[in-house]
Amino acid sequence: MYEDKELQEYRDLLKTPDHFEEGFDWKTIVGAIFIGFLMMPGSMYLQLVIGTGIGPAARWVTIILFAEMAKRSFTQLKEQEIFLLYYMAGAALASPFQGLLWNQYIVQSDAAKMLGLTEFIPHWVAPQPESTSLIERTFFHRDWLIPILLLVGTQIIQRIDHFGLGYSLYRITSDVEKLPFPMAPVAALGTMALAESTEDKQKSWKWRVFSIGGVIGLAFGGIYVLLPTISGLIFAQPIRLIPIPWIELTRHTEEILPAVATGIQLDLGLVFIGMVLPFWAVMGGLIGIIITFIANPFLHKFGILSRWHPGMETVDTIFANNFDFYMSFGIGIGLAIAVVGIWHVIRSFGNSGAGERGSFKDLFRPPPGRGDFNFWISIGIYVFSTLAYVGICVWLVPNFPWIFFLGYGFIYTPVISYIAARMEGIAGQFVSLPMVREASFIAGARFFGYQGIEIWYAPIPIHNYGEATVNFRQIELTGTSIRGIIKAEIVVFPVVMIASLLFSQFIWRLAPIPSNHYPYAQELWHLQALNTLLMQTSTLEGNALFYQALNAIYVLCGTVFGLITYFILSLLGLPILLVYGVVRGLGQSAPHGFILEVIGAFLGRYFFLKRYGAMWRQYAPVLLAGFSCGMGLTGMFAMGCALILKSLSRLAY
């Protein structure tokens, strides 16, 4: 009964409105163009330079700008209009053609050559290394026609698919089962706070805090992003007062900490992120790093981390350690988290909201004005999109057993999506099963005779729609009609595709990707390529490197470690977020940014929280958004300068 009461309190945190509006008008169309052609290029550029895009700042800037324009036009933005701008900003910043920038790198990469996979990468992923399109660095070439058409086709299916199984599960879990979705009101309240910030009487502290973060972001971005960009255009080598992406210390500490990657990442944004992230999640990450720092020298001493040798830097150290131990151990921990999540879902069937549960008739009697469409239409969309994915996969990878594609789409996807939707609805936590996709590919190679790596690039219908149910609940809580969301998707899609193609082309023409002009990509893409391609060797004949890296004992150790850790934390009443933090910190990525994250977490909890009280919880996200905005504006200005100067340098005089 206590659990049911607590869940009801979560659901009542924000009452479901009884009035809905589309919020779609000319402002929305202008907003889509603004986001696509002004925000997206800056985000893409920052992603390559420092590894983080504009993020929530794009939403803030868009809403603030349009709110100010509305005031000067003697009108005001409605809450639903603001939510549509917020929604489109999130959709527009995911640049589809950035995937093709990665593909052009992977087909030419040293990692692919080292593992002998270059010749196996299919032509519909990227042209072959000898193609003139790669030499000239252009997408406007016939060799890119099939990859671009395939990308556009899968993007269209994906947009349609937004209103398929995810919407169906939202109707089941929210309308019928009346689950609370505790995180949906939090996100919806954040959007409504943006709406309040457009009113003079409410905006004072938000504007002040946002402006402070913005000025800090502009100042830091000028040193961190703008100076290297401008100096790199003028001089042979860019001037970097702050190393990007980090200060490398591994060679200096290898005698004291063998097989440990060490360094410091001096991105000030990490301090603000540490202030916003849950404190215990950050502390869990710190514990994971400490465990790694203590364990790695012993693992190296006993011959487990055998591939590491003195002289290796961060990228090579992390890859060697993942190969020897952490890939298998991480799979085990992921399985443990999945088991815990599924156990929570199974337990929830017996004790969550029985008295408030609706009936299946509610699937066909949605609240009036919410913009719902027939439940069976959403099922039809799901079937159509899944069959479309299956058809594309059979065409692209005819040698792989087609029965797997049907199993992905019609068995695994609905089961894991419903489990994830219930977990989101009950506890606000996402759950997934690790390595299902990879294990099925390996099974296809081992038992059905498939040989090749095309399957790794095919758009197979393995999806998890748990998060989509939360998004629909947020739409409902803001009083926005689903019809407005559908119209926004139709408008934003062509803008995103055109802008993404044009700016991907511009950024690629500025300099090779990766190169010293894009330091984050230059440093990290090699590691990502090694990890990605290592997995792909598992479906080739012979003694693939993947099988050398996979160790069942280490997987079992990771699973037992995860389950025991969860049990101990539950027994002691400690935050379960510690488990997720420990997983993040356990040797699977560069640990260099955790130092500033931890500093931010301690500053937020033990200084600012004491000084400003509960209001700090509201200040911190706004401060981070302001900082991201300042960095984003600096990134866009830097990219504009780079485009202009590069264009001038190509003119003939």
pLDDT digits (tens, 9 = 90+) for 430-454: 767 667 788 788 888 877 888 888 9
Does residue 652 register a pLDDT over 60?
no
Domain that holds residue 532: 2-650
Strand stretches in 234-341, DSSP E: 247-248, 263-264
Whether residue 620 is predicted with pLDDT greater than 60 in this model: the reply is yes
Residue type at 182 in one-letter notation: P
Check residues 370 and 347 and name the one with the higher pLDDT: 370
Tell which wins on pLDDT, 333 or 153. 153
Model pLDDT, residue 511: 84
In terms of average pLDDT, the best of 206-215, 329-338, 398-407, 627-636 is 398-407
Quick check: 604 and 274 in contact, CB under 8 A? Answer: yes
- pLDDT bucket at 653, cuts 50 / 70 / 90: very low
Average pLDDT over residues 230-238: 80
Q: Mean pLDDT, the chain, as a whole number?
A: 81
Per-residue model confidence (pLDDT) at position 214: 85
| pLDDT surpassing 70 at residue 123 | yes
The better pLDDT of the pair 390, 276 is held by 390
- Report whether pLDDT(3) > 50: no
Each residue's pLDDT tens digit, 172-222 = 888 887 777 876 776 666 566 656 555 554 455 767 887 888 899 899 989
Residue 281 has pLDDT above 60, yes or no: yes
How far is Cα 12 from Cα 32, in angstroms, rounded to an integer?
Answer: 33
Mean pLDDT comparison of 90-99, 530-539, 624-633, highest-scoring range: 530-539
pLDDT at 226: 86
pLDDT at 543: 52
Tell me, what's the pLDDT at 412?
A: 87
pLDDT confidence of residue 598: 92
What are the pLDDT digits (tens) for 549-578?
A: 778 898 899 889 888 887 887 787 776 667
**Digit-coded pLDDT (tens) for 287-345:** 888 888 999 999 999 999 988 989 888 888 888 888 888 878 877 887 787 777 677 66
**Helix, strand and coil percent figures for the chain, each rounded to 5:** 70, 0, 25
Q: Is the pLDDT of residue 474 over 60?
A: yes
Structural domain total, the chain: 1
Structure tokens at 491: 């408008």
Three-state DSSP class for residue 357:
coil
Q: Which residue has the tokens 């550029």?
A: 45
CA distance 555 to 340: 16
pLDDT at residue number 459: 92
Give the number of other CB atoms < 10 A from CB of residue 493: 19
C-beta of residue 60 within 8 angstroms of C-beta of residue 89: no
Residue 159 in this model has a pLDDT that exceeds 80: yes
Residue 607: DSSP 8-state: I
Q: What is the pLDDT of residue 353?
A: 46
Kindly compute the dihedral angle of the four CA atoms of residues 599, 604, 605, 611, in this order, to the nearest 10 degrees.
Answer: 130
